[in-house]
Amino acid sequence: LERNAGRYALWSYDPGWRNLHAKILVIDGRLGIVTSANLNWRSFLHDTENGVAILDPGIAARLTRQAERWIAVSERVAPGEGNPLGRALLALPWLLQYF
């Protein structure tokens, strides 16, 4: 995220006692994806992840509304304010193969 900070917006959402680890993606208002996978090599090559892709404008709209509700109660994270440990790890090129 840090390398492409100008292309993405990041919000920090704290669900309190709940553990939310799902990722949602809506493409063209028609395709909705809900998954546990992180967008890194480890999730794609080493971990066992699952998800669902649904081609339905109604579901895509519901996912968009849910994301907007989470964003409304989240804090925007500015580029450079991310995880310092993550930045330090990204500085080690040999380590990137594991992420």
pLDDT for 80: 66
Task: Answer for the pair 74, 20: CB distance below 8 angstroms, yes or no.
Answer: no
pLDDT for 3: 67
Q: Quick check: 72 pLDDT over 90? A: yes
pTM for this model (two decimals): 0.67
Beta bridge partners of 75: 12
> Terminus-to-terminus CA distance in the chain, angstroms?
13
Q: Quick check: 38 pLDDT over 80? A: no
Mean pLDDT over all residues of the chain?
A: 81
Q: Quick check: 58 pLDDT over 90? A: yes
The residue count for the chain: 99
